[in-house]
Amino acid sequence: MLTTTETLLGSDPPRSAYLESYRVLRSSVLALKEKEPFQTVLITSPGQGEGKTCVVANLGIMLGLVNMPTIIVDADFYAQGISQVLGIAATPGLTDLCLGQVQLDEALTDTEIPSLYLLSAGTQIDKGPELAVTGSMKRVLGQLTDRAEFVLLDCTPVSGFGTALSLAGAVDTVFLVSLARAQAAVVQRCLTQLRERGADIAGVIVNDVLPSDSIVYSAFHRYYR
């Protein structure tokens, strides 16, 4: 399930600058949590193809590897990226829980990492965008926080979709994943939209940084040369 690929770390990631970059991200997230505690984290992006699903998966893996109970939730009812990547599509999940059709233990999927669990978008994905604004969604998020220290929601992009904006005020904090060479005005507009919906923005995660521009990459290879 947690297969190692060029972009997915897997349950036993090999030593690399890529792995170190996610260790740095994990440290940053834990430092933010020390300052202001949070559990539910919405991860979105301005548009498609910016790597938010990869970031959710790898951050969840990194937290699980240090025995921090973490649940990765597929809240992208259109692409279902996490469900597809990790092979849990078409299983009872988030939407089924919101509709009261399954119990939490029936919907959670174990992984090779004992502290890491997955929750698919569910079998009622056409109802997902509407469920995002209901009290049942908040109820389910509350159930998840009883089970895990971190609940990471992979959500739709901000531009052109309503789900991320609907959930922005229902979670503790939000990260926006953006490509390194994205237009700053687009990123700023999305941050403004999220804040207007009550989001507490933790920060912007910059993705697809060129090796020549990466402090982690250059430091790693100088050190091990």
- pLDDT in the model for residue 223: 47
Tens-digit pLDDT profile for residues 79-128: 888 888 888 877 999 999 999 999 999 999 999 999 999 999 999 999 99
Instruction: Tokens for 122, please give them.
Output: 């569910």
Helices (H) and strands (E) in the chain, counts: 10, 7
Q: Which pLDDT value is given to residue 207?
A: 87
User: Beta 116-119 vs 109-110: how paired, if at all?
Assistant: antiparallel
CA 212 from chain centre, in angstroms, equals 27
Give the list of residues 6+ apart from residue 49 with CB closer than 8 angstroms, or none: none
Walk me through the domains of the chain, giving residue ranges and CATH numbers: 17-224 (3.40.50.300)
Alpha-carbon dihedral angle through residues 4, 106, 167, 88, given to the nearest 10 degrees: 30
What are the tokens at 215?
A: 């402090």
Q: How far apart are the two ends of the chain, measured CA to CA in Å?
A: 33
Q: Is 223 exposed, middle or buried (0-12, 13-18, 19+ CB in 10 A)?
A: exposed
Place of tokens 């050190």: 223
The two three-digit tokens of residue 55, written as one number = 């970031």
Six token digits for residue 204: 């912007």
The predicted pLDDT at position 76 comes to 94
**Which residue positions in the chain have pLDDT lower than 50?**
220-221, 223
Residue 159, classified by CB atoms within 10 Å of its CB into exposed (0-12), middle (13-18) or buried (19+), is middle
CA angle 119-121-125, nearest 5°?
Answer: 160
> Which pLDDT score, from 0 to 100, does residue 211 have?
61
Does the predicted model carry a pTM greater than 0.85?
yes
